[in-house]
């Protein structure tokens, strides 16, 4: 009698998560996501992180570890995930394009600091964005703030790219926007394959940036800076 080969079943969350699939451009939030205050969230996270550390065998009475659960909780709520709160969304005041400048505006090398939502490990890199005015402009620093706001939440890089794209289109009232992100993921470099050299590139092009010549002009502009 031939024996059937037994195969270990891989948990669904593992093989879905590692494929970086996402069903929506919107960050997946619960309906009650904003019912708790920041202070209440910090208290709950502090309690649960204490349990994690205790389960790992760490002594929370040690002077070095005593304050870690609170520090982690405060960091999550007020710093690395501040982009989850709608009230923190940057307000981009629009100005008339009084100079009638209609060519490409490129903002390069914007720092990206985000957390992969599959392992809650950081991914760090740079974003390059460009737009062509449809009659309105916004302050250049607001573009950096938009990138940072959407970065500061559990993310996948593909969704982050699209969220920045959609926000810039809304803020600038133009379809002519390009977004390019190049980053290194610590979930790749510190676990699994542990590859510390590879990086991940995502891009999104809208309006005139879908045209080959315009897109190449943008790519050339950001590459010349990187190679300089």
Which residue among 46, 116, 128, 163 is the active-site one?
116
How far apart, in whole angstroms, are the C-alpha atoms of residue 63 and residue 59? 9
Question: Which pLDDT value is given to residue 8?
Answer: 47
State how beta strands 104-116 and 154-155 pair. Answer: parallel
CB 83 within 8 A of CB 114: no
**20 is an active site residue:** no
> Is CATH 1.10.286.10 what the domain over 35-80 is classified as, yes or no?
yes
Catalytic residue, candidates 128, 155, 163, 185 = 185
Can you say whether the dihedral through the CA atoms of 64, 70, 73, 79 is positive or negative?
A: negative
DSSP-assigned beta bridge partners for residue 205: 178
**Catalytic pick among 155, 157, 163, 167:** 157
- Distance, in Å, from the CA atom of 204 to the CA atom of 27, rounded to the nearest integer, reads 18
Which residue among the candidates 118, 128, 155, 167 is catalytic per the annotation? 118
The predicted structure's pLDDT at residue 213 = 97
Domain over 91-227 is classified CATH 3.30.1130.10: yes
Tell me the domain boundaries of the chain. Answer: 35-80, 91-227
pLDDT at residue number 132: 95
117 is catalytic: yes
> Residues 117, 128, 155, 163: which is the catalytic one?
117
Mean pLDDT by 10 residues, the chain (228 residues): 45 51 81 97 98 98 97 98 96 82 93 97 97 90 97 98 97 96 94 92 98 97 70
One of 20, 70, 119, 217 is an active-site residue; which one?
Answer: 119
> Is 225 in the active site?
no
Q: Is 157 considered catalytic here?
A: yes
How far apart CA 9 and CA 35 sit, in angstroms, is: 38
222: enclosing H helix or E strand: helix 212-227
The answer to whether 118 is a known catalytic residue is yes
Residue 10's pLDDT is 46
| Nearest Cα residue to 145 out of 88, 202, 183 | 88
Q: Residue 138 belongs to what H/E stretch?
A: strand 136-138
């Amino acid at each position: 009698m031939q024996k059937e080969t037994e195969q270990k079943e891989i948990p669904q969350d593992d093989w879905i998560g590692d494929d970086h699939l996402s069903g929506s451009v919107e960050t997946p939030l619960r309906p009650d996501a904003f019912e708790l205050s920041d202070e209440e969230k910090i208290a709950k996270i502090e309690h649960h992180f204490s349990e994690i550390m205790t389960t790992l065998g760490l002594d929370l009475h040690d002077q070095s570890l005593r304050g870690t659960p609170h520090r982690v909780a405060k960091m999550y709520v007020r710093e690395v995930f501040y982009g989850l709160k709608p009230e923190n969304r940057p307000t981009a005041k629009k100005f008339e394009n009084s100079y009638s400048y209609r060519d490409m505006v490129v903002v390069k090398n914007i720092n990206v600091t985000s957390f992969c939502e599959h392992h809650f490990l950081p991914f760090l890199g740079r974003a390059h964005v460009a737009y062509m005015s449809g009659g309105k402009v916004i302050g250049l620093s607001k573009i950096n703030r938009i990138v940072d706001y959407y970065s500061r939440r559990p993310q996948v890089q593909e969704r982050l790219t699209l969220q920045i794209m959609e926000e810039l289109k809304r803020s600038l009232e133009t379809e002519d926007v390009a977004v390019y992100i190049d980053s290194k993921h610590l979930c790749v470099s510190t676990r699994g394959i542990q590859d510390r050299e590879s990086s991940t590139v995502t891009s999104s092009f809208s309006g005139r940036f879908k045209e080959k010549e315009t897109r190449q002009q943008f790519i050339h502009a950001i590459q010349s800076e990187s190679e300089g």
